[in-house]
A and B are shown apart, each in its own frame.
Chain A
């Protein structure tokens, strides 16, 4: 059973702070890693993806991947109230027919 685990939430940070969202996965052969943001009542929106070890930055978002530790994280710098949402980590394994496995998500609340 391939598993994706996320920190139990909710996570609350003040506006302007760095929010750190963490995710671990069990399938050592996993190749692709994704972060989705889901606002209440809306569908998931892809905000970051990372395939190689290290950091990947896109605006205020940084995804970090450590395959040896089977760990992927999302950092949100200068957090804004509009970042308040549930963040889902998703992992894809190997093979042509590999599927996405989603974590349970963590709810982030940014306090003005």
Chain B
């Protein structure tokens, strides 16, 4: 069964450094998402992406965050200057069609980001 993949599984970085988290969506899916989950807490929406544009972003997704799909395959989340509070699990998710509210989201295994 097709699945969303994410790399790396764990990223450790120093505060102030840039990180890029990578996701390979399921091939025929159209909507892509990034979520954040601080340890033991809820799954928080960061951004949705469709047709190479941001569809919506949350208040968490400030100027330090950016997303792109540089090669038509990878879907990346970049954090320009990491802060301690960026430490969390980051999940990529995709949905099949434009009726995204009615489609299940397929989540990747996540990247655990640790900022020291």
| Bound together | no
